[in-house]
């Protein structure tokens, strides 16, 4: 077996062993939130995935622009940082709305 496959297999086994206590729930709290809790968690997860992809593309485009024209680094860096803040705000708002939906 190669080392990459062994690492993935050991990580999967460790995650399966650790996740059992998370699913051990008494019957009194089961189904209390229903679909609202699942939709809040799913929306935060999807927003985080979208945010990561968007930030990666924005940063790559900015670095490519700086690599093509190093003198424009100051003019590219500030708008890139402002754009990254707006992208990150999406996840923070989704996180907040998820908590509001649950409570």
- Structural domains in the chain, CATH included, are 49-103 (1.20.20.10)
What percent of the chain clears pLDDT 70, i.e. is strictly above it?
Answer: 83
* pTM metric for this prediction: 0.61
What pLDDT, in 10s, does the model give residues 17-40? 766 666 665 555 555 666 777 788
pLDDT category of residue 14 using cuts at 50, 70 and 90? confident
How far apart are the C-alpha atoms of 87 and 62, rounded to whole Å? 15
Q: Would you state the pLDDT for residue 91?
A: 87
pLDDT tens, position by position, 56-96? 999 999 999 999 999 999 999 999 999 999 999 988 998 88
Q: What is the 3-state secondary structure (H, E, C) of 56-103?
A: HHHHHHHHHHHHHCHHHHHHHHHHHHHHHHHHHHHHHHHHHHHHHHHC
């Amino acid at each position: 077996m190669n080392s990459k496959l062994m690492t993935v297999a050991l990580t999967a086994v460790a995650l399966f062993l650790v996740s059992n206590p998370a699913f051990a729930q008494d019957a009194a709290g089961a189904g209390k939130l229903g679909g609202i809790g699942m939709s809040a968690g799913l929306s935060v997860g999807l927003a985080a995935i979208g945010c990561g992809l968007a930030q990666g593309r924005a940063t790559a485009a900015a670095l490519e622009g700086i690599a093509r024209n190093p003198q424009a680094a100051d003019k590219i860096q500030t708008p890139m940082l402002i754009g990254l803040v707006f992208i990150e705000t999406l996840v923070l708002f989704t996180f907040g709305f998820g908590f509001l939906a649950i409570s």
